[in-house]
Amino acid sequence: MSRDPRFDILFEPVAIGPVTAPNRFFQVPHASGATNAMPRVRAGLRGIKAEGGWGVVCTGACSIHPSCDDAPLPYATLWDEDDIRAHALMTDAVHEHGALAGVELFHGGGAVLNRATRLPPVSPSGKGWMATHTTFMSSLRPRAMDASDLRDLVRWQGEAARRAKRAGFDIVYVYAGMGYLPYEFLLPEYNERTDAYGGSIANRVRIVQEMLDATRDAVGGDVAVALRISLEELRGRPGESDETEAHEAIRLLSPHTDLLDVKMDSSPTDCGPSRFREEGAHEPVVDFVKSRTDKPVVGVGRFTSPDAMVSQIRRGVLDMVGAARPSIADPFLPRKIEEGREDEIRECIGCNMCIASWHEGVLVRCTQNPTFGEEWRRGWHPERARPAGSKDRVLIVGGGPAGLECALTLGRRGYAVTVAEAGRELGGRLLFEAALPGLSAWRRVVDYRLGRLAQMPTVEVFTESPLDADQILEFGFERVVIATGSHWARDLYSDLEVPVEASDHPAIFTPDDLAAGKAPAGKTVVFDFDGYVMGGLVAERLVEQGTDVTYITPAGGASVWTVNSNEQPYVHRRLEEAGVAVRTLERVAAFEGQTLTLAHIFTGSARTLDCDALVVVGARRSNTALFDELQARRAEWEGAGIKSVDLTGDALAPGAVAHAVYFGRGTAEALDGEPLEVFLRDAPFYTDRDLDRLIPKARIA
Ligand SMILES: Cc1cc2nc3c(=O)[nH]c(=O)nc-3n(C[C@H](O)[C@H](O)[C@H](O)COP(=O)(O)O)c2cc1C
Ligand code: SF4
């Protein structure tokens, strides 16, 4: 297939100062969770994006000095010579495919809390970022920077840039975004300085200019200098000599950089979930940038549609199409457009499990792309799978996210696969979930897989085909995979914070009941101790249907875990707009119809509430009845020709769709290979210098 000429513009090279990107696809800085402790994992996941056609591939935020210690969040470092080798592995992997490698040098200032290095945090005027997100809270506050601190900051940037060049990077960033130190200088709320670095916008951008200049001095003429800057707040402030302070900042900073990478200010706006933010949502904030600079401009917006990308370029909004999530969900997105296969793009669904995993402090994971982070340690590839190890035929029972992913991987491996789905439609839990308010993009998990499976001659898919153990034992498939999903339990929540059985009162519902079309009547309480999206979504859906809803949770906020996925602020806003009363720190102790007994989770004090119906969104249980029966009849397997029966997806362990898809892939890989618990363990590089320095000290201790 050949490329649609409409998209030719995306494949034009772009000069960035002294270097040239081979096309306009720019994987902007995003953390991977690998850190310098897993250099091979990191090189694997960046290299695969270069293989997939991204013209520029960047690191995530990379700390320039121990006074920027973001632990327990997983961040990279370029603190000294010993860090260079870990990054060189990544730049080699990127260069191997003809892409440019960029590094986002960063100092977090008052937004990092130096929990591990225990150095005093710094900020322009001693103000911290008082975020409510637990990973950004601390009992320590930053100190105000004096003149020598400013000189140190500029020097550290230059020194880290020099190391970056030695590591092989082609583009070296200054990061002035999202509450981090250079950004703190940009806003008067953080920056109350009365010296040359505070006051007017010309003064407030000065430290950024100096950091950019120090970067250029350090990297010489053959490496490009880039600036990543958040513009949302500045865009809202009238300028002294131009329309807004954002316009002024761009004009003042443009001469000091070779590239402008522009975006919104906070993780929930910058990396907004699709439930609340559309593709291209940054445009109203960054649309002016090209009018104030002659340097190439890159911007983001969860771009998955090549038409939306072309539109941004043709309309003069951007020169390069920036992407974090779309490049995680599909590392081969550019290659697919280039080869006229854009209908094969595995589109990001905007669920934000990726950023959630980073907030949880681990390797980034993706719902759509279960291979992300597994390229090196498990040898998984987003587009291919290793050849089948036998001619065994595989029966997959269940056509939800796990069953479909398992079928796709086995099909790619060349196995003959039959999927039997009991329901009328494929998609499992997503048939209900993707129909909830704002979640239509989640349907892409099913659509992508069905689209690919339709092209596979060795995969057959049957709906309305419920199977029992007798039938499976009769069929004679050598391999059986059970992907029968899970169900929501009616359990309440004990004072030990453990799910406990509820009464079987007919006015108690679960999300499965709602999916089956049952509707609670009258005053309804949604009791959410699941904490992920379902509780808030169910409340929203019931309000849409005209129900009077109160939302109650034992947690401190609604959909509490979604603080990780950047959804929580929007969930609260949405519930407030919908008129849902939100009650926190309470658990439902009992419900027997008409009256709900609540207990405060800390004090235990009890109160009652009039209530006609209760929807419990709490525990989930795997559907293992079929698997259990087959296990109990193991003695019959040999006679039936069955070699293995595996459990996968929610039936193995109920969780977010990301986990189900991952288990589906894992089961397909493990069919004749390594089980999930076997993987290569990465290790940091230690140099002789390290060991000389570290080991004697450890012995003295
Ligand atoms: C997992 C993850 C990690 C991120 N880490 C960083 C980071 O280290 N530095 C940064 O500037 N932005 C980071 N971001 C923000 C992205 O670079 C990007 O601005 C944002 O996700 C919007 O782009 P998108 O819609 O293409 O995802 C991260 C985003 C994600 C999803
Ligand atoms: S986890 Fe979700 S939001 Fe993140 S890249 Fe994957 S599909 Fe997109």
Sign of dihedral through CA atoms 304, 308, 310, 314? Answer: negative
pLDDT at 694: 61
Instruction: Name the residue at shortest CA distance from atom 13 of ligand 1.
Output: 30
**Bridge partners (DSSP) listed for residue 374:** none
Give the ligand whose atoms come closest to the C-alpha of residue 567. Answer: 2
Active-site residue identified among 173, 180, 183, 197 = 180
Instruction: Name the residue at shortest CA distance from atom 28 of ligand 1.
Output: 30
Which atom of ligand 2 lies nearest, measured to the CA of 324? 5
Residues near 22 by beta carbon (within 8 Å), at least 6 away in sequence:
13, 55, 98, 99, 100
pLDDT surpasses 60 at 308: yes
User: CB of 275 closer than 6 A to ligand 2?
Assistant: no
pLDDT at 502: 77
Banded model confidence at residue 60, pLDDT cuts 50, 70, 90: very high
Question: Could you give the dihedral angle defined by the CA atoms of residues 117, 134, 46 and 168, in that order, rounded to the nearest 10 degrees?
Answer: -30
Query: CA 183, CA 179: separation in Å to the nearest integer?
Result: 6
Instruction: Name the residue at shortest CA distance from atom 7 of ligand 2.
Output: 348
Is 496:519 a contact under the CB 8 Å cutoff?
no
Residue with tokens 């079987």: 504
The DSSP 8-state label assigned to residue 79 in this structure reads: -
User: CB of 350 closer than 6 A to ligand 2?
Assistant: yes
Burial class (CB in 10 A: 0-12, 13-18, 19+), 597: middle
CA max distance for the chain: 85
Mean pLDDT across the stretch 521-546?
97
Query: CA 492, CA 591: separation in Å to the nearest integer?
Result: 10
pLDDT surpasses 80 at 115: yes
- Give the H/E segment covering residue 664: helix 657-670
User: Considering just the CA atoms, what is the radius of gyration of the chain in Å?
Assistant: 27
Residue with tokens 């009652």: 608
Token code pair at residue 57:
């591939």
Give per-residue pLDDT as tens, 15-32: 999 999 999 999 999 999
Reduced to 3 states, what is the DSSP secondary structure of residue 650? helix
pLDDT surpasses 80 at 570: yes
pLDDT at 688: 62
Give per-residue pLDDT as tens, 352-379: 999 999 999 999 999 999 999 999 999 9
- Phi/psi zone of residue 19: left (φ > 0), alpha (ψ -120 to 50 degrees), beta? beta
Residues near 547 by beta carbon (within 8 Å), at least 6 away in sequence:
519, 520, 521, 524
pLDDT at 690: 64
For the chain, how many residues are written?
701
Which atom of ligand 1 lies nearest, measured to the CA of 267? 15
User: CB of 259 closer than 6 A to ligand 2?
Assistant: no
- The Å distance, Cα 203 to ligand 2 centre, comes to 39
Pocket test residue of 25, 28, 171 for ligand 1, highest count of atoms within 8 A of CB: 28
Which atom of ligand 2 lies nearest, measured to the CA of 353? 1
Is 110:68 a contact under the CB 8 Å cutoff?
no
Is 4:341 a contact under the CB 8 Å cutoff?
no
Give the ligand whose atoms come closest to the C-alpha of residue 370. Answer: 2
Pocket test residue of 260, 267, 270 for ligand 1, highest count of atoms within 8 A of CB: 270
- The Å distance, Cα 6 to ligand 2 centre, comes to 27
Token code pair at residue 105:
């040098």
Mean pLDDT across the stretch 568-581?
96
Percent of the chain with pLDDT over 90: 92
Beta carbons within 10 angstroms of residue 172's beta carbon: 29
Is 49:331 a contact under the CB 8 Å cutoff?
yes
Helix %, strand %, coil % of the chain (to 5) = 35, 20, 45
pLDDT surpasses 60 at 697: no
Cis peptide before 182 (omega within 30 of 0): no
User: CB of 89 closer than 6 A to ligand 2?
Assistant: no
Banded model confidence at residue 701, pLDDT cuts 50, 70, 90: very low
Mean pLDDT of the chain: 95
Query: CA 116, CA 66: separation in Å to the nearest integer?
Result: 9
Reduced to 3 states, what is the DSSP secondary structure of residue 370? coil
Is 174:211 a contact under the CB 8 Å cutoff?
yes
Name the pTM for this structure.
0.97
Q: In the 3-class helix/strand/coil scheme, how is 535-596 assigned residue by residue?
A: HHHHHHHHHHCCCCEEEECCCCCCCHHHHCCCCHHHHHHHHHHCCCEEECCEEEEEECCEEE
Closest by Cα among 235, 234, 287, 223 to 259: 223
Is 588:580 a contact under the CB 8 Å cutoff?
no
User: CB of 352 closer than 6 A to ligand 2?
Assistant: yes
Give the ligand whose atoms come closest to the C-alpha of residue 363. Answer: 1
Which amino acid makes up residue 233? E
Instruction: Determine whether 180 is an active site residue.
Output: yes
Give per-residue pLDDT as tens, 170-207: 999 999 999 999 999 999 999 999 999 999 999 999 99
- Strands 586-591 and 594-600, by their bridges, are antiparallel
Token code pair at residue 410:
């086995």
